Structure 1
Amino acid sequence: MLLSVRHRFLFVHIAKTGGTSVRAALEGRRWRDPWYPAQFLCSRLSHLSGHRLAIKLPRHAKVIAAKELLPREFFDSLFKFAFVRNPWDLQVSSFHHIRRERPQFLGGHQDFADFLRWKLDPERPYQYHLDTSIERQSDYLIDLDGRTLVDFVGRYERLAEDFRIACDRIGIPTPSLPHRRRAADRTTDYRSYYDDDTAALIARHFARDIALLGYRFDPD
């Protein structure tokens, strides 16, 4: 989650949706925010305490957390936005990210289909780096009654275009989007990773996202 007091925006960072690039593009704006030194200090204190001080909005916090922590008038004044991604594509991206940067979390499953079944097994012990990427994206956007709290939902599939829309809404020139954490070792088309069973597994687990966000396995 990225909060700018000066520019009155709140970016809700859903894992594996291009958020690292969005954060990097907007970081320069934070440095010129008069509130940034205080935010930076709180962030460092939170890190040094093992995040036990409750003084920082986590990187992948849901928008409801900001609503509960921030003053109502201030929260309502923010332009709140997020990016989402096709759930089938997101899981392929997550698999390659974990295999490349945190292979110890693969649980011995080098095959995508085997890893996916193990990852979505409700009996598997919780692991942050796995479970963040199987959170339902819609949960990041809504309150406890299911009402959408964000003002704009962009899509990873048109990241540059929707980022320009978000910057226009914020009222800032659009900075360039760096390419961060792009997997060089994956097949371009996510559909080639799936068979009927694993495609249906994603459809069941992310049914709420698919219904709310309008994604399909075959977008054409």
Structure 2
Amino acid sequence: MLLSVKHRFLFVHIAKTGGTSVRAALERRRWADPWYWPMFLCSRFSHLSGHRLGSKFPRHAKVVAAKEMLPKEFFDELFKFAFVRNPWDLQVSSFHHIRRERPRLLDGHETFADFLRWKLDPQRPYQYHLDTSIEWQSDYLIDLHGNLAVDFIGRYEHLHADFATACARIGIPAPTLPHARQATDRSNDYRSYYTDETADLIARHFQRDIQMLGYTFDPQA
């Protein structure tokens, strides 16, 4: 999550949706924000206390955390936005990320199909420890009553155009998006990774995201 007091925006960072690039582009703006250094010092004090002070939102905090902790008037005037991604494509990204950076977590499930079955098995202990992509993206966008709490939802599938739209809503020129964490070890077509059975597994597990965000397995169909 990235909060700018000066520019009145709140970016909700959902993992593997281009958020690292968005953060990198927008963080430069924070250095000129007079509130940046007080916020930085509070963050450091929180870190030194083991975050017992609760003065910093986690990187992948849900929007409900900000809504519950910030003053209502301040939260309401923020431009709140996030980026989402096709759930089938996101799980391919998750697989390659773990295989590349934390292969020990695959626990012998080396093929994509085995990885999916194991990752989404409700009987597997420690559900959250793999990565946050096991969660619904829609959970990051709603309040405690299930109401949408962000003002703009961009799409990873047209990241640059939607980022420009978000910057226009903020009222700043759109900075160049760096290619942060760009994968080089996967096919660009996520559909090639799936069988009918594994595609249906994603459809069932992420049904709410698919319905709320309007995604399909084959956008060209």
Normalised by the length of structure 1, the TM-score is: 0.96
Flag structure 1 segments of 5+ consecutive residues without an equivalent: none
Structure-2 residue corresponding to 1:124? 124
Whole-angstrom CA distance in 2 between matches of 1:171 and 1:155: 20
Flag structure 2 segments of 5+ consecutive residues without an equivalent: none
CA change 1:121–1:45 in 2 (3 A) is: farther
Structure-2 residue corresponding to 1:180? 180
- Indicate if the aligned counterparts of 2:143 and 2:149 stay in contact, CA closer than 8 A: yes
Offset at 1:127?
A: 5.5
- Indicate if the aligned counterparts of 2:4 and 2:10 stay in contact, CA closer than 8 A: yes
* Alignment pair present for 1:212 and 2:203: no
Query: CA RMSD, aligned part only?
Result: 1.2
* Alignment pair present for 1:139 and 2:142: no
The within-5 A match list for 1:24-39 is 24-39=24-39
Whole-angstrom CA distance in 2 between matches of 1:63 and 1:185: 32
Structure-2 residue corresponding to 1:110? 110
Offset at 1:150?
A: 0.3
The within-5 A match list for 1:1-220 is 1-126=1-126, 128-220=128-220
Whole-angstrom CA distance in 1 between matches of 2:51 and 2:188: 37
CA change 1:202–1:178 in 2 (3 A) is: same
Higher mean C-alpha displacement, 138-147 vs 17-26? 138-147
Q: How many residues align?
A: 220
Offset at 1:55?
A: 1.5
Whole-angstrom CA distance in 2 between matches of 1:193 and 1:127: 23
Whole-angstrom CA distance in 2 between matches of 1:143 and 1:24: 26
Whole-angstrom CA distance in 2 between matches of 1:39 and 1:63: 18
The sequence identity of aligned pairs, in percent, is 79
Deviations 1:48-86 (A, max 9, x none): 444333211111111010000000000001000000000
Offset at 1:128?
A: 4.3
- Indicate if the aligned counterparts of 2:84 and 2:153 stay in contact, CA closer than 8 A: yes
Normalised by the length of structure 2, the TM-score is: 0.96
AA in 2 matched with 1:173? P
AA in 2 matched with 1:46? S
Deviations 1:149-195 (A, max 9, x none): 10000000000000000000000010000001111000110001110
Higher mean C-alpha displacement, 141-150 vs 88-97? 141-150
CA change 1:105–1:41 in 2 (3 A) is: farther
Deviations 1:110-161 (A, max 9, x none): 1111111111111222264524111101111111222111000000000000
Whole-angstrom CA distance in 2 between matches of 1:127 and 1:211: 23
Whole-angstrom CA distance in 2 between matches of 1:140 and 1:96: 23
Offset at 1:41?
A: 2.0
Higher mean C-alpha displacement, 127-136 vs 196-205? 127-136
Whole-angstrom CA distance in 2 between matches of 1:73 and 1:131: 33
Specify the SS of the correspondent of 2:104: helix
AA in 1 matched with 2:85? R
Specify the SS of the correspondent of 2:130: helix
Higher mean C-alpha displacement, 163-172 vs 137-146? 137-146
